[in-house]
Amino acid sequence: MTVKKILLTVVGIALTGALIAGASVLASPGYGTADDPLVTLSYIDSTVRPELSSEISRAAAAARTEAEEAFKAQLDELSAAFSARLAAAGKTGADTGAFSVVSVASGKTVACAPGTEIILRIGTASSAGNSSPRLIDVTDGSSVVGSGTALTQNHLYMVTIDGNGFKTSSSVKVLIRGSYKIG
């Protein structure tokens, strides 16, 4: 469902709720009946309008809440479907500007795009890739990490060549900022 259809649905629900609330207040018994044959403008201004306004406000708020919940549910559903498609394609991360906590099973290789940052938090891994330098240890400031070199926990590494990254020798948890692919 497109965003346009979702927004049209939300607006439709809100307007329907407002109209129903307005009609129910106007159809309220007692105004202009045999028990109350005369309705004055001051009575309408002081009693009917505030009641009508209050009912419309409550109905609109309820419709808005319902529409927001429906929209959030659909957005969560779309997000889950998008994540599933990324995972099915083997891509589990993209450059969002923030670090993501990623769990990687033992024996897996993580290939990254240039500029991707990696912090090994738990487990053991070594640098991997086809081109030198594999990674740069930004924490040390000058260390170039060669092929098969063990990564140090809590050090910040940067990928400088597309496809370089790391291979796990145990299950690991890493913080990654940037694009990567687990293979």
pLDDT at 169: 92
User: Would you place residue 27 in the very low, low, confident or very high pLDDT band (cuts 50, 70, 90)?
Assistant: low
For residue 177, count other CB atoms closer than 10 A to its CB: 19
- Residue 33 CA, chain-centre distance (Å), reads 55
Residue 120 confidence (pLDDT) above 70: yes
Percent of the chain with pLDDT over 90: 14
Average pLDDT taken over every residue of the chain: 81
Both tokens of residue 22?
């307005």
**Section 129-135 average pLDDT:** 81
Asked if 126 and 160 touch (Cβ cutoff 8 Å), the reply is: no
Asked if 112 and 183 touch (Cβ cutoff 8 Å), the reply is: no
Q: What is the pTM of this model?
A: 0.48
Residue 166 confidence (pLDDT) above 70: yes
- Residue 181 CA, chain-centre distance (Å), reads 20
pLDDT at 179: 87
Residue 115 confidence (pLDDT) above 90: no
pLDDT in tens, 42-86: 878 888 888 888 888 998 999 999 989 888 888 888 887 777 776
For residue 126, count other CB atoms closer than 10 A to its CB: 17
Residue 105 confidence (pLDDT) above 60: yes
For residue 63, count other CB atoms closer than 10 A to its CB: 21
pLDDT at 173: 93
Q: What is the 3-state secondary structure (H, E, C) of 55-116?
A: HHHHHHHHHHHHHHHHHHHHHHHHHHHHHHHHHHCCEEECCCCCCEEEEECCCCEEEECCCC
Both tokens of residue 66?
């319902």
pLDDT at 136: 86
Least confident of 16-25, 51-60, 133-142, 163-172: 16-25
Least confident of 37-41, 107-111, 164-168: 37-41
Residue 91 confidence (pLDDT) above 90: no
CATH number for domain 92-182, candidates 2.40.390, 2.30.29, 3.90.320, 2.60.120 = 2.60.120
